[in-house]
Amino acid sequence: MRIAVMGQAAFGEAVLKRLIEDGHEVAGVSAPQPVEGGRSDPLWAAGEAARLPLTDTASLKTDAGLQQWRNLQPELCVMAFVTTIVPMEALEAPKLGTIQYHPSLLPLHRGASAMNWAIINGDTETGLSIFWPDRGIDTGPILLQRRVDITREDTLGTLYFGKLFPMGVDAISESVALVAAGNAPRLEQKQELGTYEPVCSDEHAGIAWYAPAEWVSALIRGCNPSPGAWTTFEGQRLRIYDCALAGHQVAGLPGTVLSVDETGFDVRLNGDVLRIARVQPEGEKKLAAGEWAANVGLKAGFRFR
């Protein structure tokens, strides 16, 4: 099958390589074009290495870029991690249309931060969807879905790179095979069950230490590594990354530091104790929480608010 690949980053690169390995003819690649002197996006670089025609994804909103895309004459377009709104004219250019990867069980968690919110909201399960995009945001018919568990230890990083990334590459490969065989479903989403969350940003990542312990843990894990849940220390933001609930309770006010050692520090929560292992002070690099605590003189009894 003659395929055009649209996407970016390591996932887009992995999908391109998998489709080539599967024996498909790749007509061309659309990815963010590198700025002069800047680092190339991995998908752009992979397309360049494979000597494929390259189209800047942003240019698809122009007549010239759209015509360049149409000239590839693909049978199918595969969207692998696309973070910009693409005109329907570009998605309708292939004769068989376009399929897209989304890291949630649609219609749940539509939007750009689907994985963050699945963890933050306390879901115990999520997954991925390959769907046929339409003019809505993640509202098109479903081709294929796969499910995964979310554990109490999962972070945004482990959920994506350990589960939904490799599973997604396999799912796209399987979906393309179904399209090629003429057996690809188009199952309408139950729109009344749809949920949509905004891009997860600092606006949502502030830690409320008085909230239930499970909520605090889920927020930190759902924001790790991006955008990074935060609190304040001496007037500056401190981002909290690696953490774990201890599974026991102690008396005291939420946010109170209980103990500090060379590997990290413990904070009393509402219903549990949180062990913090990695942090990032404002304007600095990430470092072990114990090292940071020693640098700033953090002592038991200090209370984050």
Q: Is 240 helix (H, G, I), strand (E, B) or coil?
A: strand
In whole angstroms, how far apart are CA 217 and each of 84, 172, 242, 245? 30, 32, 10, 7
- Residues 211 and 97 occupy one common structural domain: no
- Residues 17 and 158 occupy one common structural domain: yes
Q: What is the pTM of this model?
A: 0.95
- Residues 161 and 78 occupy one common structural domain: yes
Tokens for 142, please give them. Answer: 């479903």
Provide the CATH number for the domain around residue 264: 3.10.25.10
Which residues of the chain are under the pLDDT cut of 50? Answer: none
Q: Position 104: which residue type?
A: S
DSSP-assigned letter for residue 260? E
- Residues 113 and 249 occupy one common structural domain: no
Q: Is 205 helix (H, G, I), strand (E, B) or coil?
A: helix
Task: Report if residue 304 sits inside a domain.
Answer: no
DSSP-assigned letter for residue 187? B
Closest-CA residue to 83 (of 103, 63, 55): 103
- Residues 110 and 254 occupy one common structural domain: no
pLDDT at 12: 98
Are the C-beta atoms of residues 141 and 189 closer than 8 Å to each other?
Answer: yes
Task: Report if residue 302 sits inside a domain.
Answer: no
Percent of the residues in the chain that have a pLDDT greater than 70, as a whole number: 100
pLDDT at 36: 83
pLDDT tens profile 179-217: 999 999 999 999 999 999 999 999 999 999 999 999 999
Q: Which residue intervals of the chain are DSSP H helices?
A: 9-21, 42-49, 63-70, 88-91, 114-120, 156-159, 165-181, 202-205, 213-222, 289-296
pLDDT at 280: 98
How many domains is the chain partitioned into structurally?
A: 2
193, 213, 237 — which closes off a domain?
193
- Residues 27 and 164 occupy one common structural domain: yes
Domain with 172, as residue range(s), is 2-193
pLDDT at 197: 96
pLDDT at 58: 95
